[in-house]
Amino acid sequence: MKLITEVNEEINVLVEGTGSKKKDYFIEGIFLQSDVKNRNGRVYPFETLQKEVARYNKEYINKNRAYGELGHPDGPTINLERVSHMIKELKEDGRNFIGKAKIMDTPYGNIVKNLLSEGAKLGVSSRGMGTLESKNGANYVKSDFYLATAADIVADPSAPNAFVQGVMENKEWIYESGTFLSVDVENYKKEIEDANRKEREKVKLEGFYNLLSKLDINIKRFREKSIINREKLQ
């Protein structure tokens, strides 16, 4: 699966509370769009987003767990130390999905509040995982799409997502035990290709054990059973 991010610029800022009363800041606007080719050349089928938004509402928004970060994270996991807002609503509106998020009293949330109070124009960027199918001159997001967050807050909504896409270009992601794990496919390929024929199986085994350790699987049993085979390869 690939990390997929999309930026939406038209976001409204709402401020509730006047005078000495504490002010609550909200952002509201189109968080997700379907059935239209976006500037990244991708199309999200309506049924795919509708199903995933329903899951996101049930598992995250309804349980006050729908967080978003400030900036462009380079992976699908929510980094709690960078959380700036909580998404409170994500509703279907025609072929779009309108979201509303409350800016939180966190270190990064306070940065957002100060930026908004100074008149800064911010945007939101959805972040998810999925596979793509190329057809009719566009990349269609398939039904395995997983929404990590409906909105991160970004300070440069008009800029391409070249940084995030560039960092993640050589990575694939797999979903295991409720967690996304990055796999640096190109590094594994290069190690195997660079190894001579005698060492190739050993390199494959090392890569396999490395992957298992990242998945937090107890590999002691695997090592004990395969130690004889590994010794033969050395």
**In the annotation, is 85 catalytic?**
no
Pairing of strands 138-141, 42-43: parallel
Q: Got the DSSP string for 80-102?
A: GGGEEEEEEEEEEETTEEEEEEE
Pairing of strands 83-93, 11-16: unpaired
Counts for the chain of helices (H) and strands (E), in that order: 6, 13
**In the annotation, is 84 catalytic?**
no
DSSP single-letter state for residue 159: S
| Cβ atoms of 97 and 30 closer than 8 Å | yes
Select which of 34, 72, 84, 85 is catalytic.
72
Task: Report the alpha-carbon angle 149-154-155, nearest 5.
Answer: 170
Select which of 34, 84, 125, 126 is catalytic.
125
| Cβ atoms of 17 and 49 closer than 8 Å | no
Tokens 């992957």 belong to residue: 211
SS3 category, 165: helix
Q: Which residues are catalytic?
A: 72, 125
